[in-house]
Amino acid sequence: MTTSPSRLALAAALTGALTLGSGALATGTALADSPARSAQQSAHRIPFTAATVTQQADGSFRLDWTAPGTRKVTVYAGTDRDGIRHRTPVARGTGSATVAVTGLAAADRWFFELVPDRGESLTVADRSLHLASAPNFRDAGGYRTADGHWVKMGEVYRSDDLSKLTDADLAKLQRLGIRQIFDLRTPAEQKTAPDRVPAGATVVNANVLGVADTGAFNVTSPAAAVQAMIDAERVMVSAESAKSAYRGVLRAADDRHAILFHCTAGKDRTGWANAALLTALGVPRSTVDADYLASNDYRAAANGAILSHLPAPYQAIYKPLLDVRPEYLNAGFDEVQAKYGTFDHYLKDGLGIDTHHLRSRLLAG
């Protein structure tokens, strides 16, 4: 089925028009790979098959990990991912453990280095940056690949729009080292809700839709709204403007500075960008799906606020445009198969991406 950028604009219109910027907070986790990979991982340099960091409401942290064949793990914490000192452990555990870390001072972000008694260490953090002004702002990394590597954290970030960032948020992003920001929105969206960006960061206009505005929204049933989102996902694979935008994002991810990409809600145009990145890095499809669907959790309060301002008969029609659903992402992968045969061919022929360099830059282990 052939779709046009205007259909994508149609599907994007409601979110762009109704996003209210609710101050919801969400936590992020590093998802486990399939248990079937455990035997393969046992011989890998990083022995961890799962690792999760979740910041609690009281400022403490919960850490969960699994490292088959490991008897002891020592945990160190630091605010500099590459400069964690091994002076005083903040926790210890066995090869499979859940621990609580308390008493850490307030900081932009805490990183935790899990040091096993055999094999290489793994550094992870809570995926969420806990920005009330951008609830879907999160780290794109922290996932395990099918062959046992891990996507580095602190290198690539994804978000909803940045128009409501506070001065404190901007200072935090500057200290995180974000130097390039890809704005995937249309010019009209940018004008309506202009980004606030940290000092020293360069903004790249990467309009996925390739049109001036998102256009008018005009669907009359939940089924029509779902179909509009499915059609939109296909366009994000096939449209020349989309390929140009995602080519820029993935090439910049290979740079030595941290980058950020975002759209209005941080779930559709941004969701495909991250799905493409993670797939290029070798992250299993099940993990890619979970990362994509996590926008429903990060944006739950914001979406609830949007729906609460609509008349009851319209809520069922509009909800599919606020959601991310498996069938939406499936449509993107189906379009890749229909147009390119394989995802590798999509990356190479459609986007012109060298996955070898990308993986050497962003993978640990």
Over residues 270-320, the pLDDT tens digits come to 999 999 999 999 999 999 999 999 999 999 999 999 999 999 889 999 999
Cβ atoms of 133 and 159 closer than 8 Å: no
**Encoding tokens for residue 171?**
């200072």
Architecture of domain 29-126: Sandwich (2.60)
CA distance 75 to 124: 11
Question: 138-139 and 73-78 as β-strands: parallel, antiparallel, unpaired?
Answer: unpaired
Catalytic-residue membership of 263: yes
Place 197 in a pLDDT band, splitting at 50, 70 and 90.
very high
CA-to-CA separations, 109 to 159, 172, 259, in angstroms, rounded: 17, 9, 17
**Global pTM value:** 0.88
Report how far residue 319's alpha carbon sits from residue 309's, in angstroms, rounded to the nearest whole number: 12
pLDDT one-digit tens code per residue, 99-109: 999 999 999 99
Residues of the chain with CATH 3.90.190.10: 5-26+131-364
Q: Measured in whole angstroms, how far is the alpha carbon of residue 124 from the centre of its chain? A: 15
Q: How many other CB atoms are there within 10 angstroms of residue 355's CB atom?
A: 17
Every domain of the chain with CATH number 2.60.40.10 lies at: 29-126
Fold of 5-26+131-364: Protein-Tyrosine Phosphatase; Chain A (3.90.190)
Q: Cα 334 vs. chain centroid, distance in angstroms?
A: 21
170 neighbors 108 (Cβ within 8 angstroms):
no
Number of residues assigned to the chain: 365
CA distance 29 to 105: 21
Sign of the dihedral defined by the CA atoms of residues 62, 280, 295, 241, in that order:
positive
Catalytic residue among 263, 276, 306, 322: 263
What is the rounded CA–CA span in Å between residue 117 and residue 94?
10
